[in-house]
């Protein structure tokens, strides 16, 4: 995948590679780890290409709030499983006049044949994303006789129509995080590596499809009827994450987001299948796991995320992941 970006609509730069540059006939798996430094961002990318599947993980620090995305002609027609691990962003695509929101710890499945528009990003924190791109024919094959959510999406894809599996993104589950971690830390080689990566990518597709099917079922009994109420809950979620070190009380959060406490609690349960602070705790621990895998010490992670002690952090971490923080680092 290549993304052309420009500062102030000026000189084009290419971030990442494209499929046509990879010698697929020579190797079953091509993996590249690269660093980029531009006037608009610093980025580290991990790119993995196998037959019919392209995987990319990005850790980006944006230096400017707004970027322009130019259409590219060398990218195959693909369906994107999108996971925003941290940071926030918005893309306005002029081609279909659609706005796409990418919020921390959220996921969606997107079909966007062409992009020509504006991207806006938070310059205060790193933006991390993980994507799996299925070749169009591969995705259509996998979606056949699967579930209604994927089949509806496949109908749009087959017709070349822009689509995403859900209007609102859903949280990244622990099982999805585990799949992503497995892909990024795969030690198999060649044939076995292809099988492992393909199986994990398909597992991610299954987990996402199942999550969206469950969301459709819950929608029938959804307690928030108005768009305003839903927007308030998403705003509350974003505010909670932005203030992760000193989170507000439920009463304070309800005032900030403009909704009463009852709707706030019911809305979190409906949208995120969790209580307000259950969601925050889950988010903090998933983020803590990322920090530990990046090499940060247990003590610094516990302090950064506001735990009262290393012991308190370790207990919560072990309860969620069934392993101690120390074993994650080894």
For the chain, the domains span: 3-219, 227-329
Element (H, E) at 141: helix 136-143
Question: Taking the model in full, what pTM does it have?
Answer: 0.68
The CATH number assigned to the domain with range 3-219 reads: 2.60.120.10
Position 249 scores a pLDDT of: 92
The CATH number assigned to the domain with range 227-329 reads: 1.10.10.60
Asked if residue 208 lies in contact with residue 131, where contact means CB atoms within 8 angstroms, the answer is no
Position 223 scores a pLDDT of: 65
Position 19 scores a pLDDT of: 38
3-state secondary structure 225-263: CCHHHHHHHHHHHHHHHHCCCCCCCHHHHHHHHCCCHHH
Other beta carbons within 10 angstroms of residue 158's beta carbon come to 13
Position 26 scores a pLDDT of: 53
Position 83 scores a pLDDT of: 96
What 22-31 contacts at long range (C-beta under 8 Å, 24+ apart), as own/partner pairs, is 22/49, 24/49, 24/51, 27/190, 28/190, 28/191, 28/193, 28/194, 29/190, 29/193, 29/194, 29/197
Asked if residue 242 lies in contact with residue 273, where contact means CB atoms within 8 angstroms, the answer is no
SS3 for 295?
coil
Position 22 scores a pLDDT of: 40
Mean pLDDT, 10 residues at a time, over the chain (330 residues)? 37 38 59 91 93 93 90 81 92 91 91 92 89 95 90 92 87 91 91 94 96 74 73 89 87 91 87 87 87 87 86 89 79
Residue-wise burial string across 183-206, b where 16 or more C-beta atoms lie within 10 A, e elsewhere = beebeeeeeebbebbeebbbbbbb
């Amino acid at each position: 995948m290549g993304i052309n970006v420009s500062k102030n609509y000026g000189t084009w730069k290419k971030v990442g590679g494209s499929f046509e540059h990879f010698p697929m006939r020579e190797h079953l798996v091509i993996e590249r780890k690269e660093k980029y430094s531009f006037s608009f961002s610093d980025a580290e990318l991990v790119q993995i290409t196998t037959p019919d599947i392209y995987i990319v993980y990005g850790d980006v620090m944006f230096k400017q709030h707004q970027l322009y995305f130019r259409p590219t002609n060398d990218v195959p027609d693909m369906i994107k499983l999108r996971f925003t691990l941290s940071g926030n962003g918005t893309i306005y695509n002029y081609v279909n006049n659609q706005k796409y929101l990418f919020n921390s710890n959220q996921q969606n499945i997107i079909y966007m044949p062409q992009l020509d528009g504006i991207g806006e990003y938070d310059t205060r924190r790193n933006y991390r994303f993980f994507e799996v791109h299925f070749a169009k024919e591969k995705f259509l094959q996998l979606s056949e006789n699967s579930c209604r959510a994927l089949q509806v999406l496949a109908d749009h894809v087959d017709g070349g129509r822009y689509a995403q599996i859900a209007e609102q993104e859903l949280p990244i589950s622990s099982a999805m995080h585990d799949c992503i971690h497995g892909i990024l830390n795969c030690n198999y080689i060649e044939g076995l590596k292809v099988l492992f990566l393909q199986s994990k990518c398909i597992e991610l597709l299954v987990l996402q499809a199942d999550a969206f099917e469950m969301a459709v079922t819950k929608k029938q009994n959804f307690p928030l009827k108005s768009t305003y109420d839903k927007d308030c809950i998403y705003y509350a979620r974003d505010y909670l994450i932005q203030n992760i070190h000193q989170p507000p009380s439920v009463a304070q959060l309800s005032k900030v987001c403009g909704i009463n406490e009852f709707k706030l609690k019911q809305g979190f349960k409906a949208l995120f299948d969790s209580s307000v602070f259950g969601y925050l705790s889950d988010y903090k621990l998933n983020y803590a796991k990322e920090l530990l895998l990046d090499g940060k010490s247990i003590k610094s992670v516990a302090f950064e995320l506001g735990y009262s002690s290393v012991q308190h952090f370790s207990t919560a971490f072990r309860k969620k992941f069934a392993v101690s923080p120390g074993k994650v680092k080894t």
